[in-house]
Amino acid sequence: MVAGAVQRARGATRFEFAICAMVFSVLAGVLLHYVLRYRAEAELAGVRFQVAAMRTALAGKIMEAALAGDTGRLQALVGSNPVALLEHAPPGYVGEVDQLNGRNIPRGSWVFDRKQQIIVYLFSGNKTFSTRHYTHWSYRVESLCLPTNNAKPPGTTADVAKLSVALTQVDG
C-alpha cells in the first residue's frame, strides 16, 4: 500500500498523459476549424462589402447622367473600371493589367483586366474544412438595355430612363 501511494505521488502515468494529449489535440483541431472558417467568411464579407461600395458609386454616376440626360456618359461607364469611381481603392488593389495572369498577382487582391474589362478578386486560397472554396470572383460594368435607334427618326435622342448600367458578376 505504501509503495502504490509513493508511486502515485510522483506524477501522472504515461496513459494519463496520452489521454490529455489526445483531448488537447482534438480541441486544437476544432479551434483550427473555426478559425479557418471565420477567416474565410471574413474575407468573403470584405469582398461583398467592396462590391456593394462599387455598385453604390456606379449608381451615383448613373443618377448624375440620368439627371443630366446624357446617354453618352452612361454608355462611357460600360466596361469601365469600377474602382475608379471609388474615393479610395479597396485594400489589396493591384491596379490595371492588360492580361490577367494569376502567377504575377498576389492572392487576396483586386485587379482590373483591361482586355476583358472585368474587375477580379483573387481569394487568398485559405483552405478550410468546408466544401465551399472560391478561387476568384469577376465583375463587369455592363449595359442592361442598349439604345436602339432603328425605329426612331434621325436626330431623335435615346430615352435615358430606359438605359441603365450595372455591375454584374461574371463568374464565381
Tell me how many degrees the CA angle 27-29-35 measures, rounded to the nearest 5.
105
From the CA atom positions of the chain, what is the Rg in Å?
Answer: 28
- What's residue 86's pLDDT? 92
Q: Which residues in 75-110 are b (16+ Cβ under 10 Å) and which e?
A: bebeebbbbebbeeebebbeeeeeebeeeebeebbb
Q: For the chain, what is the total number of helices (H) and then of strands (E)? A: 3, 5
Tell me how many degrees the CA angle 92-40-38 measures, rounded to the nearest 5.
125
Q: Is residue 168 part of a domain?
A: no
Q: Is residue 12 part of a domain?
A: no
- Over residues 85-100, the pLDDT tens digits come to 999 999 989 989 888 7
Q: Is residue 103 part of a domain?
A: yes
CA dist 17 and 118 (Å) reads 56
Q: Is residue 102 part of a domain?
A: yes
Contact of 84 with 99, CB cutoff 8 Å: no
- What's residue 36's pLDDT? 87
Q: Is residue 91 part of a domain?
A: yes
- Over residues 113-142, the pLDDT tens digits come to 999 999 999 888 766 556 567 788 899 998
The full length of the chain comes to 172
- Over residues 20-32, the pLDDT tens digits come to 999 999 999 999 9
DSSP 124: -
Q: Give me the number of domains the chain comprises.
A: 1
pTM as predicted: 0.74
* Model confidence band, residue 66 (pLDDT cutoffs 50, 70, 90): confident
- Over residues 44-57, the pLDDT tens digits come to 899 999 999 999 99
Task: Give the strand order in the sheet containing 93-97.
Answer: 93-97, 109-113, 118-122, 136-143, 165-171
What percent of the chain has a predicted confidence (pLDDT) above 70?
77
Q: Which residue range forms the structural domain that includes residue 51?
A: 17-128+136-140
- Over residues 150-169, the pLDDT tens digits come to 555 555 555 545 667 888 88
Q: Is residue 111 part of a domain?
A: yes
> Cell numbers at residue 79, please?
466596361
